[in-house]
């Protein structure tokens, strides 16, 4: 087998577990941060993965460190806190941030990693844990062209579609735009479904009309199983994460001076849902039970 880079992974949760699985399947040595937020790791350890106790140890044992954590505060913590990645980073090592983050913070993080002797790219993910396990994620990458080209073979082990958005932070910028559109349509469809039910319209009729008309698309198909039968497994994205991502979108658009009239309404809808650990499809039920 050809010599493979040693890969470190921080965040083997719903998305990161699939990333780890496919990196190991491709033959890369992999060290995983031992953390309570991980999914069960037995299959990854059986496939050759090993554990590290701290982010620093992950970096010391890796040439590439992949971050699959919640957002900007978590990225900053695992990189720069005591025993963080920056303390163990090898000269020229690469940090790949697959989180959803605030672009201005991403640029500052990249500068700090460069000062520590490393390199940085953002590779924001779309799709779901199902596609992560199948090695079919979408990635939106912010990196210099040469670094993107050199890293693409590794990214292809766990991603089906890989877009080069531009320089560092462009991936996170496009991810926030993507999530605003996706979560915005989810909110519109949830509210429409709730109103449809209150009007006594059969769900099947609603799905037929929307699916064959202006409502069809990827998000519609992910929400369809929940509307049909209450199955939310195809859209395992929490309301809390939706609220967080839309908050990041507001921070970005405010810095840009961009209009965000619709985004404020969408965020208000998600922020008002309780409990926040519900999945996005379950917002339909909350709205259906709530009347003005």
Closest CA to 14 of 59, 69, 96: 69
Q: What is the pTM of this model?
A: 0.92
pLDDT for 74 = 97
DSSP type of residue 214:
T
pLDDT for 176 = 97
> What interhelical angle do 103-115 and 239-256 show, nearest 10?
90
The tally of CA atoms less than 13 A away on the side-chain side of residue 168 is: 19
Q: Please, are residues 113 and 78 in contact by the beta-carbon 8 Å criterion?
A: no
SS3 track for 85-119: HHHHCCCCCEEEECCCCCHHHHHHHHHHHHHCCCE
Averaged confidence pLDDT in the chain: 96
User: What is the token pair recorded at 177?
Assistant: 């735009």
What CA–CA distance (Å, rounded) separates 135 from 37? Answer: 21
pLDDT for 4 = 84
**Can you say whether residue 117 is alpha, beta or left, with left for phi > 0 and alpha for psi between -120 and 50 degrees?**
left
Which of the four pLDDT bands, split at 50, 70 and 90, describes residue 292?
low
pLDDT digits (tens, 9 = 90+) for 81-128: 999 999 999 999 999 999 999 999 999 999 999 999 999 999 999 998
Give the Å distances, CA to CA, from 140 to 97, 261, 285. Answer: 11, 25, 32
Which of the four pLDDT bands, split at 50, 70 and 90, describes residue 1?
very low
pLDDT above 80 for 71: yes
pLDDT above 50 for 54: yes
Q: How far apart are the first and last CA of the chain?
A: 64
pLDDT for 289 = 86
Mean pLDDT score, 267-290: 94
Mean pLDDT score, 149-164: 98
Q: Which residues pair with 139 in a beta bridge?
A: 125, 162
User: 1 or 36: whose pLDDT is higher?
Assistant: 36
Which of the four pLDDT bands, split at 50, 70 and 90, describes residue 65?
very high
Percent pLDDT > 90 in the chain is: 95
What CA–CA distance (Å, rounded) separates 170 from 142? Answer: 5
Percent pLDDT > 70 in the chain is: 98
In the numeric block, the tokens 């399947």 are attached to 25
Which of the four pLDDT bands, split at 50, 70 and 90, describes residue 2?
low
């Amino acid at each position: 087998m050809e010599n493979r880079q040693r890969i470190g992974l921080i965040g083997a949760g719903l998305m990161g577990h699939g990333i780890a699985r496919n990196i190991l399947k491709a033959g890369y040595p992999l060290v995983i941060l031992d953390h309570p937020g991980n999914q069960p790791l037995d299959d990854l350890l059986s496939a050759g993965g090993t554990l590290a106790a701290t982010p620093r140890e992950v970096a010391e044992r890796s040439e590439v460190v992949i971050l699959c954590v919640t957002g900007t505060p978590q990225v900053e913590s695992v990189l720069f806190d005591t025993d963080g990645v920056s303390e163990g980073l090898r000269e020229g090592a690469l940090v790949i941030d697959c989180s959803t983050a605030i672009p201005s913070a991403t640029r500052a993080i990249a500068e700090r990693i460069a000062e520590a002797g490393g390199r940085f790219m953002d590779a924001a993910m779309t799709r779901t844990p199902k596609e992560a396990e199948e090695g079919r994620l979408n990635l939106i990458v912010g990196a210099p062209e040469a670094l993107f080209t050199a890293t693409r073979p590794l990214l292809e082990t766990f991603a089906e579609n890989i877009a080069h958005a531009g320089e560092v932070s462009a991936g996170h910028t496009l991810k926030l735009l993507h999530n605003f559109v996706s979560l915005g349509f989810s909110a519109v469809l949830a509210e429409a479904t709730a109103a449809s039910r209150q009007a006594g319209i059969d769900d099947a009729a609603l799905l037929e009309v929307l699916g064959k008309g202006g409502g069809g698309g990827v998000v519609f198909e992910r929400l369809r199983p929940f509307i049909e039968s209450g199955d939310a497994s195809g859209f395992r994205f929490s309301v809390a994460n939706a609220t967080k991502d839309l908050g990041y979108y507001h921070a970005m658009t405010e810095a840009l001076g961009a209009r965000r009239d619709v985004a404020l309404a969408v965020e208000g809808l998600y922020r008002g849902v309780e409990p926040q650990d519900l999945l996005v499809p379950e917002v339909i039920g909350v709205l259906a039970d709530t009347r003005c």
